[in-house]
Amino acid sequence: MARNTPRSRGSWFNESNVNQYITTNLFLESANVENGTLYAFPGTHLEGLLPSEDVVSYRENPGSNPGRTVLVPSKYEKVDLEFQKGDMLILHGDLIHGSHPNQSSRSRPMLSMSYISEGESFIPGETAKRRVIKLH
């Protein structure tokens, strides 16, 4: 049975950017299920980009699935990812993942950076103001 879940790909990438980016997250504080840690479906990046739909993602309600939704093939298991301050996570851009709602009074701040292949298109965003920073 497939199930709906948030999709890895942010709405700021083109659907044609399959296998063209990674995201890194440096955790500035610990993260667990209570304060909204991430979860992933290991191996789903091998499926290619599955069809998804946008869902409002800013300040989600507890129990909702922010971001994009996708049907996850039933052969994949959801894994909660817990982190300590200073841990780093590197995600393949097509890995299906999401985050739990923050049910606590504390935040889970992190520094997040995405890397995309040169020449690939993206949407800068009205408030994010994403821009190209060449690494060479």
pLDDT at residue 24, as a whole number: 92
Is residue 48 a contact partner of residue 91, using CB atoms and an 8 Å limit? Answer: no
In one letter, which amino acid is 8?
S
Domain 3-116: which CATH class? mainly beta
- Among candidate residues 135, 1, 128, 129, the one with its CA nearest the CA of residue 57: 128
pLDDT at residue 33, as a whole number: 94
pTM (two decimals): 0.76
pLDDT < 50 regions, the chain: 1-3, 6-9, 11
Write down the domain spans for the chain.
Answer: 3-116
pLDDT at residue 66, as a whole number: 52
pLDDT at residue 7, as a whole number: 45
For the chain, how big is the Rg over CA atoms in Å?
A: 15
How many CA atoms lie within 13 Å of 123's alpha carbon, on the beta-carbon side?
Answer: 11
C-beta atoms surrounding 124 within 10 Å:
11
Per-residue pLDDT tens digits for 66-87 = 567 788 999 999 999 999 999 9
